[in-house]
Amino acid sequence: MTTSSLSKTEFLNEVGKFVSERIAPLSREIDERNEFPKLLYKEMGEKGILGVTVPKKYGGRNYGFPIYLKVVERVARESSAVAASIATHEMLTYILLKHGTEKQKEKYLTSLVNGEMVGGFAMTEPWAGSDVNSISTSAEIREDTIIIDGVKKFISNGTFGDLFGVVVKTGELGKGRAELSFVLVEKKDPGFKMEEKLDLSGNRGLGVAKLVFNNCEVERGKLVGEKGEGFKIIMDALLLGKLSYAAIALGLMEEAVNLCLSYTRERKQFNQPLFNFQAVNFTIAEMATEFEASKALLEKVASKWGRDENLNFYASVAKLFITGKACETALKAVQLHGGRGYLRGEKVEKLYRDAKGLEIGEGTSEIQKRIIARELSKMGMV
Ligand SMILES: Cc1cc2nc3c(=O)[nH]c(=O)nc-3n(C[C@H](O)[C@H](O)[C@H](O)COP(=O)(O)OP(=O)(O)OC[C@H]3O[C@@H](n4cnc5c(N)ncnc54)[C@H](O)[C@@H]3O)c2cc1C
């Protein structure tokens, strides 16, 4: 049987096997060296991991969004960095599917799906993070070309990506609001430079970088959507990004609970396994409860994908809740491992560093609260 004819369950089993055999053994090295093994993209492409939501005519598997989230969650149990890399790659894939022209889809989608090209989403700048309206990277749209100038920072897949969706300012809308547009830039385009690899504390290996566009010239055909449609495109991308980060957080939580369960059953103090102490088993009971609640929440929100007009509200609720719980769970896991949990190279120590980044990327927890409050005031009631 070819891997493209698998049922959803068979596909997820194959992904699980691939994660255990290929990603798990690399996870520690990726973290220590802060380096992504780009070859993994080709392998993930072959396994169908990069095309879960993409129609078959572009080489994808078309299993749908909830299955994509399960894949990301499974990968995150072994490597948050690899899962976050897939998530940012998927953001660009999704933007092209939803807003790209047929020509853009034909040119890029198959290469993104088979892993020949790695994608990224470049919005944040040194002086513009939560407030996207204040970006200063500008683009002048000419008859045949687009000229981009500016700096982007904190861009995942930045060190090894081949194709970036870049949020640019193309004008003023009045009252201090910027007109935003979305342009594709390839690594080989003149005036593009990956300037600096950032030394993150967690999610190391995600290739987070500073990108510079200096009189960068791309063909006019690389504008995605119409001029001025950037904000709409960003909102769509972030919807996917928020749920992806929630799924990564869920994977981290599951791993943390399992590690604590096996460690506290094995490790003895006062002549008995740590798990026998109520303070310990109650902590793990709470962690497991929060994991199950998070799992149910994500499943509920995933089932609304493409069908619910209040998805932005639900996606922010899931992102806020699950990434927050993942941080708390990972911190408890460090404590339950005692001194060992505080050693570099221990999995729970890495889980905590990774979980913290999930509360920041794809919109901070505070920004999620702003969105939830704003959407609530529109909805009236939940
Ligand atoms: C692991 C990781 C991967 C990332 N990948 C990408 C990527 O691929 N592409 C990309 O474009 N960016 C990426 N980012 C950047 C990320 O999107 C930004 O870090 C995030 O949006 C916050 O922006 P900032 O860091 O400038 O913080 P700021 O916006 O300066 O915020 C600093 C603090 O102030 C708070 N704050 C800001 N405004 C408000 C407000 N109105 N009300 C209350 N509190 C507020 C924030 O919540 C935060 O606590 C990544 C970040 C991380 C950690």
Question: Nearest 5°: phi and psi at 176?
Answer: 75, 10
Number of domains in the chain: 3
Cα distance between residue 38 and residue 70, in whole Å? 22
Let me know whether 158 and 169 are in one domain. Answer: yes
Let me know whether 81 and 181 are in one domain. Answer: no
363 lines ligand 1 (CB under 6 A): yes
pLDDT-derived band at 70, boundaries 50, 70, 90? very high
DSSP character at residue 340: G
Let me know whether 286 and 159 are in one domain. Answer: no
Let me know whether 200 and 271 are in one domain. Answer: no
**Last residue in a domain, options 213, 228, 243:** 228
Cα distance between residue 202 and residue 30, in whole Å? 11
Let me know whether 59 and 196 are in one domain. Answer: no
pLDDT-derived band at 2, boundaries 50, 70, 90? low
155 lines ligand 1 (CB under 6 A): yes
Cα distance between residue 283 and residue 261, in whole Å? 10
Distance 360 CA to ligand 1 centre (A): 6
Let me know whether 266 and 239 are in one domain. Answer: yes
Placement of tokens 């094995």 in the chain? 266
Catalytically active residues, by annotation: 362
122 lines ligand 1 (CB under 6 A): yes
Percentage helix, strand, coil for the chain under 3-state DSSP, each rounded to 5: 55, 15, 25
Q: How far is CA 151 from CA 85, 129, 178, 192, 320, in A?
A: 21, 12, 17, 10, 28
Nearest residue (by CA) to ligand 1, atom 9, is 155
Burial class (CB in 10 A: 0-12, 13-18, 19+), 211: buried
User: Which pLDDT score is estimated for 237?
Assistant: 98
Question: Tell me: the pLDDT tens digits for 237-278?
Answer: 999 999 999 999 999 999 999 999 999 999 999 999 999 999
Distance 234 CA to ligand 1 centre (A): 14
User: Which pLDDT score is estimated for 5?
Assistant: 84
User: Which pLDDT score is estimated for 309?
Assistant: 83
User: Which pLDDT score is estimated for 381?
Assistant: 81
Cα distance between residue 294 and residue 323, in whole Å? 9
CATH number of the domain bearing residue 369:
1.20.140.10
Distance 332 CA to ligand 1 centre (A): 25
- State which ligand 1 atom lies nearest to the alpha carbon of 88: 8
Let me know whether 20 and 113 are in one domain. Answer: yes
**Last residue in a domain, options 117, 146, 166:** 117
pLDDT score of 159 more than 80:
yes
94 lines ligand 1 (CB under 6 A): no
Closest alpha carbon to 78 in 245, 208, 252, 200: 252
CATH number of the domain bearing residue 39:
1.10.540.10
Let me know whether 44 and 134 are in one domain. Answer: no
Let me know whether 90 and 192 are in one domain. Answer: no
pLDDT score of 3 more than 80:
no
% residues pLDDT > 90 (the chain) = 96
Question: Tell me: the pLDDT tens digits for 107-129?
Answer: 999 999 999 999 999 999 999 99
203 lines ligand 1 (CB under 6 A): yes
The range of the structural domain enclosing residue 303 comes to 232-379
